[in-house]
């Protein structure tokens, strides 16, 4: 090993931090712990038998191409399927508007690589997805948080902040929005709020990143329009992924954007990984073509609805007065707010002693606030353990309450 590793690190690498969540998640690996911590899909939704069938078919019918390098844009069969899926949702797109990514986390890295110079501002929700914040910070972004209410990011606060930044000649590179069943808050942005946010982006001539891994996981209520569709003028870059609606292990996601922006993504991705695995893309494309994707997604939604209901009922039964939580109409998460004086990091360690885990809420706040909040995942835990887990968590909270 060289004597001075620190001395040769780039400024960017010196600023990189390991994800707080990933470090905490290591502590929750003990099988006795009921973990509401990770954002993991339920393994019982993984279509293993169908994938054995589809994988053999791909190898037999298209093996050479599947095992060869592929194009950076992505497998055209898969892109065609994605174009088709999104046209059904009102997206006016063609093949040129779609690039496959090695799941959405790569999209988050690439968007920062493309747009961010050190010190550039990016607007994020308070709270926002930690992996996004981490990707942006690695490129030296200066994250500016905007408060939430029940309808998502507050448009009045966004407008105020952008007016201030414009005065300083320091407008952000883009606005990061997770509109559907947000990670971590479980909140869905209303159509009215989406329109307000788009109008503000247009007023200041800004791009919006619409990161939407959970949109298809709706259990009830009315589907809200995609910001990409509501805008229709190329201000929105939309990210999708198979991670939460099919399997995360495939690492397949996609960027949908104006052709000029997709071209920038292609250039940035080329130097990152040349292409996403053609083999995995072909298996995914065939899986969708055969109708298995829609069939399995319906079952996943039913299972998660049931898991959400079990969790909500347990919350109603056990949580003490003074604790509030979001009631998501879909997705994987709900968000707890404790009385102001409480600190969820202290609770985290007490909860581990009682064999239950969650994620502390302040890691999702780019301004380091939210100490009295926590994220709870309901998709992963087996149904028969949810109630016991919530009971344990409620006991820990009660003991720490004044
Ligand atoms: C909002 C959001 N964006 C992106 C990701 C990354 O997903 P993946 O890289 O598995 O597609 C996640 C994962 O939890 C997420 O919640």
Average confidence score pLDDT of the chain: 96
Residue with the two structure tokens 């109630």: 387
Collapsed DSSP state (helix, strand, coil) of residue 16:
coil
Q: How far is the CA of 104 from the centre of ligand 1 (A)?
A: 6
| Structure confidence at residue 29 (pLDDT) | 79
Residue 395 exposed, middle or buried by CB count within 10 Å (0-12, 13-18, 19+): middle
Question: 364 and 333 in contact (C-beta within 8 Å)?
Answer: no
Using DSSP bridges, classify how beta strands 359-360 and 373-377 pair: parallel, antiparallel or unpaired.
antiparallel
CATH 3.30.420.40 fits 65-290, yes or no: no
| Structure confidence at residue 20 (pLDDT) | 66
Q: 52-90 pLDDT, tens per residue?
A: 999 999 999 999 999 999 999 999 999 999 999 999 999
Q: How far is the CA of 221 from the centre of ligand 1 (A)?
A: 23
Q: 195-231 pLDDT, tens per residue?
A: 999 999 999 999 999 999 999 999 999 999 999 999 9
Collapsed DSSP state (helix, strand, coil) of residue 350:
helix
pLDDT confidence band for 318 (50 / 70 / 90): very high
Is it the case that residue 94 has pLDDT exceeding 70? yes
Question: 255 and 265 in contact (C-beta within 8 Å)?
Answer: yes
Q: 129-161 pLDDT, tens per residue?
A: 999 999 999 999 999 999 999 999 999 999 999
Q: Which residues contact 143 (CB under 8 A, 6 or more apart)?
A: 121, 122, 124, 133, 136, 137, 366
Question: 279 and 113 in contact (C-beta within 8 Å)?
Answer: no
Nearest to 157 by CA among 143, 147, 168, 144: 147
Is it the case that residue 264 has pLDDT exceeding 80? yes
Q: 273-314 pLDDT, tens per residue?
A: 999 999 999 999 999 999 999 999 999 999 999 999 999 999
**Other C-beta atoms within 10 Å of 124: how many?**
27
What is the arithmetic mean of pLDDT over 176-192? 97
The residue whose C-alpha atom lies closest to atom 10 belonging to ligand 1 is 243
Nearest to 381 by CA among 365, 357, 353: 357
Question: 35 and 374 in contact (C-beta within 8 Å)?
Answer: no
Residue 293 exposed, middle or buried by CB count within 10 Å (0-12, 13-18, 19+): buried
What is the CB < 6 Å shell around ligand 1?
39, 103-105, 129, 131-132, 178, 183, 211, 213, 241, 243, 248, 253
Using DSSP bridges, classify how beta strands 174-177 and 207-211 pair: parallel, antiparallel or unpaired.
parallel
Is it the case that residue 117 has pLDDT exceeding 70? yes
Nearest to 147 by CA among 136, 134, 156: 156
- Percent pLDDT > 90 in the chain is 94
Specify the ligand 1 atom closest to the Cα of 182: 1
CA–CA separation, 152 and 148 (whole Å):
5
All structural domains of the chain with their residue ranges? 14-45+294-400, 65-290
Q: 2-48 pLDDT, tens per residue?
A: 999 999 999 888 888 777 677 777 877 788 999 999 899 999 999 99
Question: Residue ranges of the alpha helices (H) in 116-223?
Answer: 130-138, 155-167, 191-203
- Percent pLDDT > 70 in the chain is 100
**Other C-beta atoms within 10 Å of 9: how many?**
12
Q: How far is the CA of 215 from the centre of ligand 1 (A)?
A: 12
CATH of domain 14-45+294-400: 3.90.1150.10
Rounded to the nearest angstrom, the gap between the alpha carbon of residue 63 and the centroid of all alpha carbons in its chain is: 32
Collapsed DSSP state (helix, strand, coil) of residue 7:
helix
């Amino acid at each position: 090993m060289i004597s001075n590793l620190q001395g040769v690190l780039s400024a960017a690498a010196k600023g990189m931090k390991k994800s707080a969540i990933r470090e905490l998640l290591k502590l929750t690996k003990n099988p006795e712990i009921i973990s509401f911590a990770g954002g993991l899909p339920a393994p019982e939704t993984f279509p293993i038998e169908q994938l054995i069938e589809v994988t053999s078919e791909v190898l037999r019918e298209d093996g050479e191409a599947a095992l060869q390098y592929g194009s950076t844009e992505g497998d055209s069969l898969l892109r065609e399927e994605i174009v088709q899926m999104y046209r059904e949702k009102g997206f006016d797109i063609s093949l040129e508007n779609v690039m496959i990514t090695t799941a959405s986390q790569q999209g988050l890295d690439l968007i920062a690589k493309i747009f961010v110079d050190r010190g550039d501002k990016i607007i994020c929700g308070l709270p926002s997805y930690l992996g996004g914040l981490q990707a942006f910070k690695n490129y030296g972004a200066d994250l500016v948080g905007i408060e939430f209410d029940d309808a998502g990011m507050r448009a009045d606060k966004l407008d105020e902040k952008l007016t201030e930044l414009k005065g300083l000649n320091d407008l952000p590179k883009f606005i990061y929005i997770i509109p559907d069943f947000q990670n971590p808050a479980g909140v869905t942005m209303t159509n009215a709020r989406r329109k307000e946010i788009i109008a503000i982006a247009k007023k200041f001539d800004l791009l919006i990143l619409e990161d939407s891994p959970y949109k298809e996981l709706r259990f009830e209520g009315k589907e809200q329009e995609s910001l990409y569709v509501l805008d229709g003028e190329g201000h929105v870059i939309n990210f999708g992924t198979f991670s939460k609606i099919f399997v995360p292990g495939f690492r397949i996601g996609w960027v949908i954007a104006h052709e000029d922006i997709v071209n920038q993504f292609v250039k940035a991705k080329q130097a990152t990984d040349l292409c996403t695995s053609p083999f995995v893309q072909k298996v995914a494309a065939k899986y969708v073509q055969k109708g298995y994707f829609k069939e399995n997604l319906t079952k996943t939604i039913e299972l998660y609805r049931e898991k959400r209901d079990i969790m909500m009922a347990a919350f109603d039964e056990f949580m003490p007065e003074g604790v509030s939580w979001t009631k998501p109409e879909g997705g994987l998460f709900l968000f707890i707010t404790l009385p102001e004086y409480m600190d969820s990091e202290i609770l985290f360690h007490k909860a581990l002693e009682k064999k239950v885990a969650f994620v502390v809420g302040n890691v999702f706040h780019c301004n380091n606030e939210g100490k009295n909040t926590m994220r709870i995942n309901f998709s992963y835990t087996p149904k028969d353990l949810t109630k016991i887990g919530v009971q344990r968590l409620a006991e820990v909270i009660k003991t720490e309450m004044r």
